[in-house]
Amino acid sequence: MPADNEKYVLVIDLGTSGSKTALASVYGEIIDFDFEEVPIHNLKNGGVEQDPHDWWKAIMTTSKRLLDKELVSREDIVAICSSTQWSGTVPVDKDGQPLMNAVIWMDSRGEKQVNEVAGGLINVEGYGIRKLYDWIRISGGAPALTGKDPVGHILYIKDQLPDIYQKTYKFLEPKDFINLCFTGKFAASYDSITLHWVTDNRNPGKIDYHKTLLKHSTLEREKLPDLKRSIDILGPVKKEIADELGLCRDIPVIMGTPDLQAAALGSGAVDDYVGHIYIGTSSWLNAHVPFKKTDIFHSIASLPCPIPDRYLVSNEQETAGACLTFLRDNILYHKDELLKEQSVPDVYKIFDRIAEQIPAGANKVLFTPWLNGERTPVENNTIRSGLHNLSLSSTRGDIIRAVLEGVAYNLKWVLFYVEKFIKRQMESIHFVGGGANSKVWCRIIADVLNREIKQVKDPIQANARGSAFMAGVALKYLSFGEISKYIQINEVFKPQSENRKVYDEMYKEYLNIYKNNLKMYERLNRINRN
């Protein structure tokens, strides 16, 4: 129960599947939350969009429902802080109105335009050698050649939707658009702007746009927002929004951070080299480090984060939890059929019960989780998912477990390069996100990675908890160094040696599937962008 003298944060956690509003103490305790689904619009030409109006409607709906429960005194809510999906683009006019749907992180329509901008007379991995040197040296990374970064989105709009481009006052990340809705102020944080690849990140305490990188990307500085730290106060909430929600009119809005950085804080893995895995729609394996470094060949880089003078080793697998959703909606339990049921079952719990009965290795059935290509440890927009080695004796259980294990194999692939990147082995790894609610998945990941996995309590609340911590730091209730003591571990999963042989064998074949089918994927899935 909330303490009488406790202070709280209204946390906005906008993911790809929908918007969650949570009430949390400034010390990261989640009081309650409310969720509203937001539709995704998949286009045939590689486009993936969401309507920013849907985002805002879901945020206001969930906020009102949550606040109307009167779980805490509204006078004790001292800040609003948002964490959202990253690598998205919202073109807005001078009045802050969206000019089109948001282009989100899965959208690859800018692939052609990015490749044209990134190339040069002498190329390395598709990049002009001089441009690549500047991007890596100054920003720590380079635009994804798949077109899925904001620079790709913006260049696509400039090339294919010139009227919208001309009308655009600012291109905003999803988080920064939500902050605009709350305050009326145009701004981005040091970390949210990173994937535009136009900022000088060599001093994490003083990040700004760099003329050379703007020139390389052909982005216009005047169409990009001014920059602030994640723990800066952007401004007070608009009076009309405060009144609609029944909040104090002077309540501050904290800049906040994207989901990847928020989850790192909410996992409790805040010390250097302490890793955490997140599984939601996508997945990642990250750790805070004291240095700036880049592995361009495996899409791993240490990038700006909310903690002053620190970086976060950043990487992202394209689809993880989305693979289970795909399995549920398209193969085993079609959503139209579920709607006909009087009581909709918790399909994921059913998956867990079934998978738990299947031996490690899923009776030699293999799944590759590349439903939308992959970002890391390989950047390839054409590779695709598949179920391999099926036979007449294969069962539904084998398929379900193979999907869980396939995501774990990709994490093992990433882990190899992350540990090489930080030059040390991670003895234990914190696990958060919706996927961490599955003890079966915790066990599989521990066994496949051969690492101790710490299941964080309330793992699905990692983003919200991280945002609450940021507000607490911004308002000086605690420091970043104190965060880990407020994190509880639900259970620790140690790797089982008896599963080592089968998982090592299956992982080896997993890598072979990628190597042996690259040309086929290229032939089948190369999209003509002309």
SS3 of 417-482: HHHHHHCCCCCEEEEECHHHHCHHHHHHHHHHHCCEEEEECCHHHHHHHHHHHHHHHHCCCCCHHH
Q: Is the pLDDT of residue 3 over 90?
A: no
Q: What is the pLDDT of residue 529?
A: 42
Is the distance from CB of 387 to CB of 371 less than 8 angstroms? no
Task: Write the CA distances from 121 to 43, 126, 127, 144, 513, integer angstroms.
Answer: 34, 11, 9, 19, 34
Q: What is the pLDDT of residue 335?
A: 60
Q: What is the pLDDT of residue 530?
A: 40
Q: Which token pair is 454?
A: 């710490």
What CATH number does the domain containing 362 carry? 3.30.420.40
**How many domains is the chain built from?**
1
Q: How many CB atoms lie within 10 A of CB 421?
A: 19
pLDDT grade for 341, boundaries at 50, 70 and 90: low
Is the distance from CB of 363 to CB of 398 less than 8 angstroms? yes
Q: What is the pLDDT of residue 2?
A: 54
Is the distance from CB of 309 to CB of 294 less than 8 angstroms? no
Q: Report the percentage of the chain scoring pLDDT > 90.
A: 88
Q: Report the percentage of the chain scoring pLDDT > 70.
A: 96
Q: Say if 191 falls within a structural domain.
A: no
Is the distance from CB of 290 to CB of 204 less than 8 angstroms? no
Please give the DSSP secondary-structure letter assigned to residue 89: B
Tell me the average pLDDT across 26-52.
95
Q: What is the pLDDT of residue 121?
A: 87
Tell me the average pLDDT across 102-110.
95
Q: Say if 338 falls within a structural domain.
A: yes
Of 284, 300, 290, 288, whose CA–CA distance to 421 is shortest? 300
Residues 139 and 212: their CA atoms lie apart, in Å, by 11
Q: Is the pLDDT of residue 375 over 90?
A: no
Residues 321 and 282: their CA atoms lie apart, in Å, by 6
Q: Say if 401 falls within a structural domain.
A: yes
Q: Say if 293 falls within a structural domain.
A: no
Q: What is the pLDDT of residue 342?
A: 52
Please state the φ and ψ torsions of residue 449, each to the nearest 5 degrees: -75, -20
Residues 142 and 139: their CA atoms lie apart, in Å, by 8
Q: Is the pLDDT of residue 340 over 80?
A: no
Q: What is the pLDDT of residue 330?
A: 85
Q: Say if 32 falls within a structural domain.
A: no
Sheet holding 48-50, edge to edge: 41-42, 48-50, 102-103
Residues 61 and 316: their CA atoms lie apart, in Å, by 30
Q: How far apart are the first and last CA of the chain?
A: 59
Residues 526 and 453: their CA atoms lie apart, in Å, by 38
Q: Say if 482 falls within a structural domain.
A: no
Buried residues in 130-167 as b, exposed as e (16+ CB within 10 A): ebbebbbebbbbbbbbbbbbbbbbbbbbbeeeeeebee
Q: Say if 359 falls within a structural domain.
A: yes
Q: Is the pLDDT of residue 405 over 50?
A: yes
Phi-psi label, residue 256: left if phi above 0, alpha if psi -120 to 50, beta otherwise: left
* For residue 52, cis peptide bond before it (omega within 30 degrees of 0): no
Q: Is the pLDDT of residue 527 over 70?
A: no
Q: For residue range 51-81, what is the model confidence (pLDDT) as tens digits?
A: 999 999 999 999 999 999 999 999 999 999 9
If 0-12 CB within 10 Å is exposed, 13-18 middle and 19+ buried, where does residue 508 land? exposed
pLDDT grade for 379, boundaries at 50, 70 and 90: confident
> CB neighbours of 240 closer than 8 A, spacing ≥ 6?
none
Q: Which token pair is 182?
A: 């709350």
Is the distance from CB of 81 to CB of 9 less than 8 angstroms? yes
| Mean pLDDT, rounded, of the chain | 94
Q: What is the pLDDT of residue 66?
A: 98
Residues spanned by the domain of 440: 321-459+489-525
Residues 4 and 32: their CA atoms lie apart, in Å, by 16
Q: For residue range 231-279, what is the model confidence (pLDDT) as tens digits?
A: 999 999 999 999 999 999 999 999 999 999 999 999 999 999 999 999 9
Q: What is the pLDDT of residue 337?
A: 57
Residues 404 and 402: their CA atoms lie apart, in Å, by 5
Tell me the average pLDDT across 410-433.
96
Among the residue ranges 6-15, 151-160, 338-347, the one predicted with the least confidence is 338-347
